Structure 1
Amino acid sequence: MVLAGSHKYRIEFDPPPPTSTEDKPPDFNLEPSCDSDKLKSSLGEGSISEEDSISKVLVEVKRDPTLSILKSMPKVKAVEPKATTTRKRETSANEDSSTKKLKTEGFWKSVESGDLLIYNANLSPGSQKVAAYDMDGTLITTQSGRVFATDYNDWKIIFSEVPGKLKSLHQDGFKILFFTNQAGIGTGKQTAAGIQGKIESIIGRLGVPVQAFVATNSSKYRKPLPYMWNYFEEHCNSGVSVERTESVYVGDAAGRPEVPKTRKKDHSCADRLFALNLGVPFETPEQHFLGRKPETMLLPSFDPRVVTADGPLYSPASTKVPAHASERKSRADISPLSQLVVMVGFPGSGKSLLSDELCRSHGYVAANRDQLGTWQRCASLDGGRVVVDNTNPDRASRARYLKVAQDVGVPARCFVFNVNKQHAMHNNRVGGSTTTGWVAAQQGGWQHNNRVGGSTTT
């Protein structure tokens, strides 16, 4: 190796260069300021003769700073630079040293106009045992340390134990699945192509075959609803029935409360509810990969498993609809069957369903601000029996209707729905998928991502 500076270097040609002019290797390239006479002078008169055997010639050259580095040196092997410690740290952060990247040869399938995206939909063979995972916060975390990734490359494997655990499960016959909510695709904050590329990179890093299911918006495929899993069983497991009790689902949204000075509370319990809806054993990432003990996990206050349709519709059960005759005022211009009913309850608590029943069975006329625009128009409706099915959450909103009823001498009643906020949100998610009414809360299991403490995320 030639370095710049005034140093002596001894250069030996081994094997010797050929004597033939045609095969002669290139000469030293000299800067214009260093001519051949100057070089000859530095070597000494008669130091090299044409009769000398070139193979025995040893040339001592006093390096002139103006000389150029040789353009070529025959039979000199290049020395590979050593890997830097920085690169080693990057590799260890994202990849086990024994893990090789798996070439992702799968393809993407779109279901219901992109509501569900599936990677490796036809991955074979099917398996009775499944190891299924949430993605963000379970298999990966951000490289930047921020809560949300700054771009599609801002990720790293969350624990060094992850690749080895998945490989072990795969070798034991488990099929490896991802189930991830990526609502940002539906809102336009993310692109489907960006998320797809990220998932392929993660699968390549893990080094095991994976099927991935991505819910792109708030459709029925979004966890904790079971439809992503159901689609897998029905269409993507080669007709093999899954033994759910022998499988496992792992996720970080487990409903764990805050541990002071140690950990914030989980952002939701959607992953735990997803597993409960499926009847699949649930584990947190710390349990599954690090072998830690189970932690306290809180469920929402509303449990659809305990709701039945066996109880009375009204409380007390003796409530009459229409009202008792004794409740009506006697006025010649008012029908004895006239009545105003004001509904009180959250959206999704069942107001419209009961209103439709009153109209169909008892001749009521439905009125609400969504249709008529103002409360004055709702209150001015004629027709004997009127039901107002807005939310009417406070005294002021109810007082308007009661005042109109009082002025015209029509009896008024309030129907208050004993459905809490989480129950109502559940019913909203069930929506048109059930025909048995607001009391059929059990259908579909938990329907939304409930936060611990009663607040919710959509």
Structure 2
Amino acid sequence: MMITCKLISTDHSIPDQIIKAGQTLIIGRNQQCKIKNLFCSRNYCKIQLLSNENKLLVEYLKDDRTVQMKSGEFINGPGFSYRICMIHDSKNASTMAHVMNDEISWTELESGNVMIGSLFGGYDCKSDKIAGFDFDFTLVCTKTGKSFPSDENDWKLFDPRLTGFIQKLVKQQGYRFVIFSNQLGISKGKVTVDMVRKRFENSMKDLCIERIPCLILVATKDDIYRKPCIGLWNHLVRNIQPDVEINLKQSFYVGDAAGRSKSALKKADFSASDILFAMNIGVNFLTPEQFLIHVAKYNGFDYQQKFEYSSSLPEKCFKVDDKTKESNFLLTNRLTGEKIPNIESILPTRVHCIIFCGISGSGKTTFYENYLQPLNYVHVNYDQLKTIQKCQQLMKKSIQEQRNIVIDNTNIERKSRQQWINLCKENGYEWIIFHFELSLKHIFHNNKFRQLTGIHKSVPDVVIYSQNKKFESLQDDECNRQFIVNFNQKFSQHDHQKLYSMYLLEK
């Protein structure tokens, strides 16, 4: 395995140096190193790469002192400072490009769903403490004052102090500087990949003028990588530095999308994606303004200080927790209030039809799959059959065969429920109504989960709003056996269960 070491200079005027196994490098005020400080001798120290030990042997020539140093440590002297970065070619063929190039080196994942940028060795600078930042209106803002940049040159630093503050976090406190950015405009065709990359490249050279290592993770589509989902974070901890356990208590994330309301000085935040991203991960969250005040006051990041979140999350933001659900029963008798733990205890003994009633996304089809499909019910579903006529034909065919039936449609209006009730009456079938009664924000949460996982087809938000507006409450005279379904999701994959328990809606 070939090992190469790059000495990354913290001074932009002093070039980086490369050492290969078996080579020797003299650091000093010489033509190769270009160190200007007069207190630095021309032959200050001699460096050799010990490839077998994955270390540098540093010999200080004035006093014959010799030390061994490893990746991540700093070689310091009069007028210079280098950070040691070991490069293992067989581990990652693109690593050399990440470190050697002073331009941002880009790679892609998932057919372009994620772009990964590395500047000044940012891909390889591991740490158990993450200093995470959003990009737009956190690190940079537009020079034009527009909400969206007009081109790759429409940027300026959000605050000129950011360069010094981030340098302090990385070099003095040992943080890894990582940018997590949503760039949905790429997949929508509003901006090009080239424009987004150039805007990062133009601005990051200014922000990282002291050659601060930076890793950039960009989500280009509305999927599990887009904040507030934590796909970008998971890629960092699982794939980029899987051998380093993150200290969540000392890590933090800074972003402008905090769900803040409009004030006299500032318009309302466009979403709450950043604060929810931090909450889903479990790290500290600060707005850009809070970050600047905090670092200036405490001379760095002090995780022991209490962080006040003044923002009130948008009403639609929703998280399923233990208070949201009860799991010790399955149904509630709508007419008596009795809680039913077992579905089979309330099913008629003779042929019957169960009529579902509930807005799209309230869990009807999932309930059928979990509880009624194993009991061999015929599934009458509009989404599958596409027309009411075909639904009616399947029900009539099932009645002829004397089979139990489930009408898995929204049935939000009384007349839509009545058509199935009439067919039951005409053919001597008993009927039961199951009402899937969830809050709108819970339904939107379910719908987003559908989109992210592809388990069931999601529906446009406008359809959910329309169905909610048209919904006609169940009346006692429609059926003498009415039950409210206690929504309790089951999962076939552990990752799906973790995803479902997070904030998924950004606004």
- The two structures have a TM-score, normalised by structure 2, of 0.61
Counterpart of 2:350 in structure 1 is: 337
Cα distance in 1 for residues equivalent to 2:200 and 2:359: 39
Q: In 1, are the aligned partners of 2:113 and 2:220 still within 8 Å (CA)?
A: yes
| Corresponding letter in the other structure for 2:504 | H
State the 1:320 CA deviation: 6.6
The secondary structure found in structure 2 opposite 1:387 is strand
Could you give the per-residue CA deviations for residues 260-282 of structure 1, whole angstroms, max 9, x where no partner exists? x3333222211111111111001
Q: In 1, are the aligned partners of 2:318 and 2:505 still within 8 Å (CA)?
A: no
1:425 equivalent to 2:439? Answer no
Cα distance in 1 for residues equivalent to 2:279 and 2:200: 26
Q: How does 1:331-410 map to 2 (within 5 A)?
A: 337-380=350-393, 381=395, 382-383=397-398, 384-410=403-429
State the 1:322 CA deviation: 5.8
Could you give the per-residue CA deviations for residues 9-68 of structure 1, whole angstroms, max 9, x where no partner exists? xxxxxxxxxxxxxxxxxxxxxxxxxxxxxxxxxxxxxxxxxxxxxxxxxxxxxxxxxxxx
- The 1:308/1:323 distance shift into structure 2, 3 A limit, reads closer
Q: In 2, are the aligned partners of 1:255 and 1:297 still within 8 Å (CA)?
A: yes
Higher RCO structure (Cα 8 Å, ≥6 apart): 1
Cα distance in 2 for residues equivalent to 1:142 and 1:289: 19
Q: In 1, are the aligned partners of 2:318 and 2:504 still within 8 Å (CA)?
A: no
Give the RMSD, CA atoms, in angstroms. Answer: 3.0
State the 1:214 CA deviation: 0.5
- The 1:233/1:322 distance shift into structure 2, 3 A limit, reads closer
Counterpart of 1:443 in structure 2 is: 498
What is the number of equivalent residue pairs in this alignment? 339
State the 1:142 CA deviation: 1.7
Could you give the per-residue CA deviations for residues 357-397 of structure 1, whole angstroms, max 9, x where no partner exists? 34433221111112222223213323232212223333343
1:318 equivalent to 2:333? Answer no
Worse-superposed segment, 118-127 or 185-194 = 118-127
The secondary structure found in structure 2 opposite 1:113 is helix
- The 1:420/1:201 distance shift into structure 2, 3 A limit, reads same
1:186 equivalent to 2:187? Answer yes
State the 1:123 CA deviation: 2.4
State the 1:415 CA deviation: 1.5
Cα distance in 2 for residues equivalent to 1:213 and 1:198: 14
State the 1:242 CA deviation: 1.7
Q: In 1, are the aligned partners of 2:127 and 2:176 still within 8 Å (CA)?
A: yes
Cα distance in 2 for residues equivalent to 1:234 and 1:108: 19
- The 1:110/1:239 distance shift into structure 2, 3 A limit, reads same
Q: In 2, are the aligned partners of 1:430 and 1:447 still within 8 Å (CA)?
A: no
User: 1:289 aligned to 285, 289, 292, which one?
Assistant: 292
Could you give the per-residue CA deviations for residues 224-282 of structure 1, whole angstroms, max 9, x where no partner exists? 112211111222237322211111101111122233x3333222211111111111001
Cα distance in 1 for residues equivalent to 2:350 and 2:224: 44
| Corresponding letter in the other structure for 1:390 | N
The secondary structure found in structure 2 opposite 1:449 is coil
- The 1:359/1:439 distance shift into structure 2, 3 A limit, reads closer
Counterpart of 1:195 in structure 2 is: 196
Counterpart of 1:243 in structure 2 is: 247
Cα distance in 2 for residues equivalent to 1:406 and 1:123: 69
State the 1:442 CA deviation: 5.7
Worse-superposed segment, 281-290 or 311-320 = 311-320
Q: In 2, are the aligned partners of 1:304 and 1:442 still within 8 Å (CA)?
A: no
User: 2:430 aligned to 411, 415, 419, which one?
Assistant: 411
Counterpart of 2:481 in structure 1 is: none
Runs of 4 or more, structure 1, over 4 Å off, are 319-325, 431-437, 439-442
Q: In 2, are the aligned partners of 1:308 and 1:442 still within 8 Å (CA)?
A: no
Structure 2: stretches of 5+ with no match in the other structure: 1-100, 298-306, 333-337, 457-486
State the 1:423 CA deviation: 2.3
Q: In 1, are the aligned partners of 2:129 and 2:251 still within 8 Å (CA)?
A: yes
The secondary structure found in structure 2 opposite 1:305 is coil
Cα distance in 2 for residues equivalent to 1:273 and 1:141: 21
- The 1:283/1:390 distance shift into structure 2, 3 A limit, reads same
Counterpart of 2:472 in structure 1 is: none
Counterpart of 2:222 in structure 1 is: 218
Cα distance in 1 for residues equivalent to 2:256 and 2:489: 31
Cα distance in 1 for residues equivalent to 2:262 and 2:422: 48
Counterpart of 2:106 in structure 1 is: 108
Q: In 2, are the aligned partners of 1:124 and 1:238 still within 8 Å (CA)?
A: no
- The 1:311/1:357 distance shift into structure 2, 3 A limit, reads same
Cα distance in 2 for residues equivalent to 1:355 and 1:223: 32
Q: In 2, are the aligned partners of 1:346 and 1:420 still within 8 Å (CA)?
A: no
Q: In 2, are the aligned partners of 1:126 and 1:238 still within 8 Å (CA)?
A: no
The secondary structure found in structure 1 opposite 2:321 is helix
Return the index of the structure with the highest Cα Rg: 1
1:255 equivalent to 2:262? Answer no
State the 1:158 CA deviation: 1.7
Q: In 1, are the aligned partners of 2:139 and 2:157 still within 8 Å (CA)?
A: yes
Could you give the per-residue CA deviations for residues 201-226 of structure 1, whole angstroms, max 9, x where no partner exists? 12111023210001110221111112
Cα distance in 2 for residues equivalent to 1:212 and 1:113: 17
Cα distance in 2 for residues equivalent to 1:137 and 1:184: 16
Counterpart of 1:23 in structure 2 is: none
Cα distance in 1 for residues equivalent to 2:268 and 2:328: 36
State the 1:406 CA deviation: 3.5
| Corresponding letter in the other structure for 2:132 | A
1:302 equivalent to 2:318? Answer yes
Q: In 2, are the aligned partners of 1:344 and 1:391 still within 8 Å (CA)?
A: yes
Could you give the per-residue CA deviations for residues 163-215 of structure 1, whole angstroms, max 9, x where no partner exists? 22212212221111110111122222222222111111121110232100011
| Corresponding letter in the other structure for 1:154 | D
